[in-house]
Amino acid sequence: MSKLSKSAVAKGDGTFSICEVSISDPEPDEVLVKMKAAGLCHTDYDSLSWGKPIVMGHEGAGVVEQVGAAVTSVKPGDQVILNWATPCMHCFQCQEGNQHICENNSPVVAGGNGHTPGQATLGSTKWEGNPIERSFNLGTLSEYTLVKESAVVKVEESNLNFSAASIISCGVMTGYGSVVNAAKLKAGSSVVVLGCGGVGLNVINACQIAGASRIIAVDINPVKLEMAK
pLDDT tens-digit profile of 171-227? 999 999 999 999 999 999 999 999 999 899 999 999 999 999 999 999 999 998 888
Residue 159 clears pLDDT 90, i.e. is over it:
no
CB atoms within 10 A of CB 13: 12
Judge if 195 and 158 occupy the same domain. Answer: no
pLDDT in tens, 79-93: 999 999 889 999 999
Strands 214-218 and 190-194: parallel
Domain extent for 194: 169-228
CATH number of residue 90's parent domain: 3.90.180.10
**Same-domain check for residues 103 and 194:** no
- Tell me how far apart the alpha carbons of residues 69 and 171 are, in angstroms, rounded to a whole number: 32
Q: Contact at 8 Å (CB) between 168 and 177?
A: no
Query: For 151-168, what is the mean pLDDT?
Result: 94
Using DSSP, state whether 6 is helix, strand or coil. strand
- Identify the domain boundary among 148, 166, 184: 166
E strands in the chain = 3-10, 16-23, 30-38, 54-55, 60-67, 79-82, 125-127, 130-131, 133-134, 144-148, 152-154, 190-194, 214-218
Q: Which band of pLDDT confidence, cut at 50, 70 and 90, is reported for residue 110?
A: low
Quote the radius of gyration of the chain (alpha carbons, Å).
18
From 145, 166, 187, the end of a domain falls on 166
Q: Quick check: 113 pLDDT over 90?
A: no
pLDDT, residue 115, reads 75
